[in-house]
Amino acid sequence: MATKTASTSTKSNWRSRAVIRPIEAGSSAECVACGERVKFQAKIKAQQVICNVYVRGRWDRVEHFHLACYNTAGEPHGHAA
């Protein structure tokens, strides 16, 4: 796992972040928005949104969303990239 060391670019790096990732086989995460499994489907390139949620400047949890659910929810953890 390659992680970039945080540069001192902007002041608040410790906010919740959302990224779009392909759903991997064997995924057992549940979508926070609809409560259903974020499950891998071989036929379609399904994508999920993974959010690192920070509460008061500290990492709190990871949340998974279906990509569509995340957009429907109004991108609660910021724009997914």
Note the residues at the interface with Zn ion (CB under 5 A).
Answer: 31, 33-34, 66, 69
Q: How far apart are CA 5 and CA 7, in angstroms?
A: 6
C-alpha count within 13 angstroms, C-beta hemisphere, residue 8: 0
Quote the least distance from Cβ 65 to Zn ion, whole Å.
6
Output 52 or 71, the one with its CB closest to Zn ion.
71
Output 14 or 30, the one with its CB closest to Zn ion.
30
- The secondary element (H helix, E strand) that includes residue 3 is none
Quote the least distance from Cβ 70 to Zn ion, whole Å.
8
Place of tokens 């949104």: 49
Output 17 or 39, the one with its CB closest to Zn ion.
39
